[in-house]
Amino acid sequence: MHLLTVLLEAILLEASVQAVDISAKKKSGGVAFIGDELNQTPFPEWLTDFTGMTQWPGLVPPYIPLDFIDMDKIPDYNSYSQGVCDANTRDACSFDCDQCLAHDDISTCRKLSQTFDDGPSPATLKLLDYLHHKSTFFTLGINSVNHPDIYHEIQDAGHLIGSHTWSHAYLPSLSNEDIIAQLEWSIWAMNATGNHIPKWFRPPYGGIDNRVRAISRQFGLQAVLWDHDTFDWSLVTNNPFKTEQEIYNDVALWKLVENRGLILEHDGARKTVDVAINILDLLGEDQLSVSECVGGIDYIREF
Ligand SMILES: [Zn+2]
């Protein structure tokens, strides 16, 4: 089941990335958004000084070396494509391959709580109208700089914002340098857009192993996975895993049986936002943000 999820979501992302490459226009149903450049987060001077660049990168961000990253601390596991789970021994502790969690991974919560990945997107605004408790959004850097106004709405509503990488890469497939690039550019996007540096990080597709962790920890990031998956994203594919009603049945059961945990949802598309609003209706507002779940801080730094 899990392997299939990964493959299907990969196909979805692939389709969305291709559409973006070809049309270079906004795509509301996909993962990465090419925004209205006039409304982009301005590329800050400090980042030009640091990178020599004057514009935000595209879907493949360049690797900029950082003093504080010690490459010797990164274990030498093999990279692997999504769903190819025999590249390393089990001690690589892959979440998506083996459901392995490290001691510092967060995957649950004492209250059953929704979390939202892949925004900010135009669909996020509708969700914000309905959310009256503090919730958690894992944003893509590229979407954050392309939708700074929506990012600010999330922030102003008091929600917690974490990193979901720059452009939704499956990190275990990348070189160490490219993993660093995905993380550093997402952090710079959040810094430039929201004036804060994230503490919480959700790897796209749950793609994390001890090599990825050894890098993300050097940024001070802590990984947040999940223990309840709605498969909401599959509703916008040709082969949904579940009907909408089956998703609601799952949520009702989770609430009835255990009433604790972290639910994986998405605010990248109108459909998944509509589902999220119905799930919110089922669960009510007695939910926590990830930082509240673990009694942790919201951000490493706020400016
Ligand atoms: Zn995602």
> How do the domains of the chain map onto residue ranges?
45-74+92-302
- Centre of ligand 1 to C-alpha 117, Å, is 5
Cα(266) to centroid(ligand 1), Å? 7
Alpha-carbon span 292 to 300, nearest angstrom = 15
**Span 280-288, average pLDDT:** 98
Q: In angstroms, what is the span from residue 153 Cα to ligand 1's centroid?
A: 20
**Residue 55's pLDDT band (cuts 50, 70, 90):** very high
**What's the average model confidence in pLDDT over 28-50?**
75
What was the pLDDT predicted at 15? 33
| Run of H or E including 139 | strand 136-139
Write the pLDDT tens digit of every residue in 155-198.
999 999 999 999 999 999 999 999 999 999 999 999 999 999 99
Task: State the distance from the centre of ligand 1 to the C-alpha of 223, rounded, in angstroms.
Answer: 14
The catalytic residues are 117, 266
Rounded Cα–Cα distance for residues 79 and 101 (Å): 18
Residue-level pLDDT at 13: 42
% of residues, the chain, pLDDT over 70 = 87
Q: Which residues surround ligand 1, an ion (CB under 5 A)?
A: 117-118, 204
Looking at residue 32, what is its pLDDT? Answer: 62
* Element containing residue 116 per DSSP (H, E): strand 113-117
- Taking 90 as the threshold, does the pLDDT of residue 279 lie above it? yes
Q: State in Å: Cα 217 to ligand 1 middle.
A: 20
Question: pLDDT tens across 60-118, in order?
Answer: 999 999 999 999 999 999 999 999 999 999 999 999 999 999 999 999 999 999 999 99
Is residue 16 very low, low, confident or very high in pLDDT (cuts 50, 70, 90)? Answer: very low
Identify the pLDDT of residue 36: 55
User: Measuring CA to CA, which residue among 112, 46, 301 is closest to residue 199?
Assistant: 301
Please give the distance, rounded to the nearest whole angstrom, from the Cα atom of residue 200 to the centre of ligand 1.
14
Which pLDDT score is estimated for 33?
58
Mean pLDDT, the chain, as a whole number?
A: 90
Instruction: Give me the pLDDT at residue 23, please.
Output: 28
pLDDT at 37: 57
Query: Tokens representing 43?
Result: 């590329």
CB atoms < 10 A from the CB of 63, how many?
Answer: 15
Does the 45-74+92-302 domain belong in CATH 3.40.640.10? no
201 alpha carbon to ligand 1 midpoint, in Å? 11
